[in-house]
Amino acid sequence: MSSNASPSNKQGQKRRIRLVMFFVLCFAVWTGYTAYLQSGILSEKEKELETLRQQATEIKQTQAELTYKVSRLNDKEYIAELARKEYFLSKPGEQIYVIPE
């Protein structure tokens, strides 16, 4: 074999390299485009996650308040106080005066 390759072989080799480079470029563009789209979706999901975390915090606070109120309902004095305020009930011999606002 000779050290110099034929001109048609060199052209074929250049053509194959160009074809491979074209596919590599197409793959790189497709990968970049997909990454760009997914970054937008990811930022939306992060915002949604933050909103859900805030809602979870609010719900936990509400749950703590309700648990406290339920625990107070086990106290007889608190129940008597509620009955006086809400339903104007009184103890025997006690008079209730309603003051208009």
Give the model confidence (pLDDT) of 27-49 as tens digits: 999 999 999 999 999 999 999 99
C-alpha–C-alpha distance, residues 65 and 67, integer Å? 5
The torsion angles phi and psi of 3, rounded to 5 degrees, stand at -75, -25
Please report the DSSP string for 62-86 in residue order.
HHHHHHHHHHHTT-HHHHHHHHHHH
Confidence band for 88, pLDDT divided at 50, 70 and 90: confident
Neighbours of 83 (CB within 10 A): 13
Contact present, 101 and 95 (Cβ < 8 Å): no
Tokens of 91: 């103890």
Give the model confidence (pLDDT) of 44-62 as tens digits: 999 999 999 999 999 999 9
- The radius of gyration of the chain's CA atoms, rounded to the nearest angstrom, is 39
Domain spans of the chain, in order of start: 7-87
